[in-house]
Amino acid sequence: MEQIQKSGNELLRMVMAGKLSGAQAAARLRIIARAVEKLDTPYPEENPPGSGRYPRTSGTMDCSELAAEAYRSDLDGTENGKQTARYQWKFIAGENDDGTVSGWLFAKTSDISGLTPGDAIFWSSSNKRQDMFHVAIYIGDGSMIDATLTKDINGVSIRSVNSTIYDHNGNPVNPFGHASPPRG
């Protein structure tokens, strides 16, 4: 797919510049490829964003399920059979805002200019970890892949990383932070 080729080209430039090893770039490209495989998977409409209701209808996927699938070899996104953006953030970033867990590098910032393809981006309705509600995967070239349900989008899609993300009350929010898979 064209997006995987674009992501691969961006990662290759990073390898050539000495910012990533070939193995790191390959791992990030696998993350993106697993997410892109899920394009057009519908969002579970009977369980709207933030409802926390499980199980999901077979053949549907929300944002945290997409991230868990994409990072499946790097991130265990399950907790008692359910997945949430908040749990994935806790697993990746730990309890400390500047901590690292499992080698993931974490930045609590709404600045997304330094993202690398394969990074996870998180949103919080109150700028606090406990109110984390959305996760997306940066795929390069100013784009992300996520799963959402809005009047215009139903399911897994690619859109601009600058797209407006709304909390469960319909309020627009900025990214809370992002996490990078291990570089070592």
Q: What is the pLDDT of residue 100?
A: 45
> pLDDT digits over 134-168, tens only?
889 999 988 999 998 887 888 899 999 888 888 77
> Is the Cβ–Cβ distance between 147 and 135 less than 8 Å?
no
Q: Which amino acid is at 145?
A: I
Q: Tell me the C-alpha distance between 109 and 31, whole Å.
A: 22
Q: 2-180 — its CATH code?
A: 3.90.1720.10
Kindly give the pairing relationship between strand 143-149 and strand 132-140: antiparallel
Q: How is the beta sheet containing 143-149 ordered, strand by strand?
A: 105-107, 175-180, 120-124, 132-140, 143-149, 154-160
